[in-house]
Amino acid sequence: MQLHYLTAHQLHDMLVSKKISAEEITRSVFDRIEQVEEKIRAYVTLTKEQAVSCARLVDKARMEGEALPPLAGIPVAVKDNMCTKGVRTTCASKILYNYIPPYNATVMEHLNEARAVMVGKTNMDEFAMGSSCENSALFTTCNPWDTNRVPGGSSGGSAAAVAAGEAILALGSDTGGSIRQPASFCGVVGMKPTYGAVSRYGLVAYASSLDQIGPFARDVTDCALLLNVICGHDPLDSTSAPYDVPDYTSFLTGDIKGVKIGVPREYMGEGIDPAVREVIKKAIDIFTGLGAVLEETTLPHTEYALPAYYLIAPAEASSNLARYDGVRYGYRAEDAGDLVDMFVKTRSEGFGPEVKRRIMLGTYALSAGYYDAYYNKALKVRTLIKADFDRAFEQFDLLLGPTAPVTAFKRGEKVNDPLQMYMVDICTLAVNLAGIPAISIPAGMVDNLPVGLQLMGRPFGEGDILRAAYAFEQNTDHHRKLPE
């Protein structure tokens, strides 16, 4: 039996009924890693010894009659920008190559309490800056559906690990679409929760007002189970929201009769691959057949999301990455003549080209004389984009569109054209600027490559999104397709 391709809820049932052990699940995943990792390259660091030890503790607890939480003994991969005590956290950057955190991110504490098993740390675009996982300073991850293509970014390692059976679940972070876009390219479920719903304590910051940790899963039920574990208020994170976290599995009823779903015309027009658009139109027909009410709507400031994002995110990044100077963390350049020379050499040698590009963009946007013309104007545009969503959600329960305008592109195809690369996130950026939740679920195939459907909801409306996503999933088989 290929345990590595089962869902967490299937494995939990088998574990509780004593058909399998947690150690068997963990070893099955590591066997799969040994089989395919050489060509996929999803992981920066593997933690096999620690994982097997954790699995044995779960088995011991089961034998002693303890009730197991839903994710007990379930192998989870973690993006390499979340601090893991005693396990190196590189952010796929030379500047943090040997950094071993002395503490856990809050999400890791939640996973430990749930008795999930960490498999390892996954590859990513350096400091989460990228849309293809080609900006990693370590190596490039490949898409399990076609290893000549990218898995998406920046959480490409986490998405590829779940799609290839190298993990049952995974955590990623989403600043401008970095969970949903790779989920779309790799044919798995990926969700960006509401800003503040999941603690960012211990997440290495890229753009603090946009970053959000979220789950990757093989189906919507597993996504809900992982959300149950990671959501909640955290006093260690001043941006964490104090709210009552519902049981997200309670929304998985399959009934969406009367649910009003808006389809923004900006998400279905120019720039969207016609084949991708056709897949989304078929999905609309399925929702209509299930009793949902779908109508076209508009988010008129969508075209400004890309420029606003690429002013706000680099501005915040230029501030957040100022701490990497060779004094406090990681890499330090050798043969520096004085302190300033050491700063300059460390940052020049430690950061990759995309990180340098965004630091320079951000520093320019925040500089005296240009602040009002660029950064301040971008913040005003962000307010208009948020107002677009607020107006839409007065009329609709959810919004629907493609997750990405294209399917996974070939490795190296866009790497020399940053603007073309930035356009790949055109359908996801506005959600981060507005701080609302959104999910990507498998919706079909084009030329044997997955297409993702995006559902967006009101702030803290994750349950409504999961309800609709689950109903769609129960009436299709796209989530069951596996790469060869």
* Whole-number Å distance between alpha carbons of 81 and 104: 11
CATH of the domain at 40: 3.90.1300.10
Residue 329 lies in a domain: no
Nearest to 423 by CA among 257, 289, 262, 302: 302
Task: Give yes or no for a contact between 15 and 72, defined as CB atoms under 8 angstroms apart.
Answer: yes
Task: Give yes or no for a contact between 223 and 443, defined as CB atoms under 8 angstroms apart.
Answer: no
Residue 358 lies in a domain: no
**Of the residues 178, 199, 240, 318, which is catalytic?**
178
Give catalytic status of residue 79 as yes or no: yes
- Count of structural domains within the chain: 1
Res 261: pLDDT: 98
**Of the residues 28, 79, 414, 440, which is catalytic?**
79
Residue-range definition of the domain harbouring residue 249: 3-258+400-480
446 sits in which H/E element: strand 438-446
Nearest to 470 by CA among 461, 457, 479: 479
Nearest to 114 by CA among 245, 232, 250, 229: 229
Task: Compute how many other C-beta atoms are within 10 angstroms of the C-beta atom of residue 11.
Answer: 26
The answer for residues whose C-beta is within 8 angstroms of residue 349's C-beta and 6 or more apart is: 94, 331, 333
Task: Compute how many other C-beta atoms are within 10 angstroms of the C-beta atom of residue 241.
Answer: 18
Model's pTM, two decimal places? 0.97
Task: Look up residue 132 and give its two tokens.
Answer: 């293809």
Res 416: pLDDT: 84
Give catalytic status of residue 250 as yes or no: no
Residue 336 lies in a domain: no
- The dihedrals phi and psi of 64, each to the nearest 5 degrees, come to -85, 5
Q: Is the dihedral of CA 369, 374, 375, 377 positive or negative?
A: positive
Residue 382 lies in a domain: no
Task: Give yes or no for a contact between 128 and 206, defined as CB atoms under 8 angstroms apart.
Answer: yes
Residue type, 150: V
Secondary structure (3-state) at 169: strand
Which strands make up the sheet holding 398-402, listed edge to edge? Answer: 43-46, 117-122, 75-79, 169-173, 213-217, 189-192, 438-446, 449-457, 398-402, 260-264, 293-297
The answer for residues whose C-beta is within 8 angstroms of residue 160's C-beta and 6 or more apart is: 40, 42, 122, 133, 141, 142, 143, 144, 151, 166, 182, 186
Calculate Rg over the CA atoms of the chain.
21
Residue 30 lies in a domain: yes
List % helix, strand, coil for the chain (3-state, nearest 5): 45, 15, 40
Res 1: pLDDT: 66
Give pLDDT tens digits along the chain (484 positions): 689 999 999 999 999 999 999 999 999 999 999 999 999 999 999 999 999 999 999 999 999 999 999 999 999 999 999 999 999 999 999 999 999 999 999 999 999 999 999 999 999 999 999 999 999 999 999 999 999 999 999 999 999 999 999 999 999 999 999 999 999 999 999 999 999 999 999 999 999 999 999 999 999 999 999 999 999 999 999 999 999 999 999 999 999 999 999 999 999 988 899 999 999 999 999 999 999 999 999 999 999 999 999 999 999 999 999 999 999 878 999 989 999 999 999 999 999 999 999 999 999 999 988 999 999 999 999 999 999 999 999 999 999 999 999 999 999 998 888 877 888 899 999 999 999 999 999 999 999 999 999 999 999 999 999 999 999 999 999 999 999 8
Secondary structure (3-state) at 1: coil
Residue 279 lies in a domain: no
Task: Give yes or no for a contact between 441 and 198, defined as CB atoms under 8 angstroms apart.
Answer: no
Secondary structure (3-state) at 461: coil
Give catalytic status of residue 178 as yes or no: yes
Supply the DSSP string of 23-82, one letter for each residue: HHHHHHHHHHHHHHHHHH--EEEE-HHHHHHHHHHHHHHHHTTPPPPTTTT-EEEEETTB
Task: Look up residue 419 and give its two tokens.
Answer: 């603007």
Residue type, 304: Y
Residue 263 lies in a domain: no
Helices (H), 121-195: 156-163, 180-186
Residue 65 lies in a domain: yes
In DSSP terms, 108 is beta-bridged to none
**Of the residues 93, 132, 154, 440, which is catalytic?**
154
Nearest to 132 by CA among 418, 403, 349, 402: 418
- Checking phi first, is residue 120 left (phi over 0); if not, alpha (psi -120 to 50) or beta? left
* Whole-number Å distance between alpha carbons of 356 and 364: 12
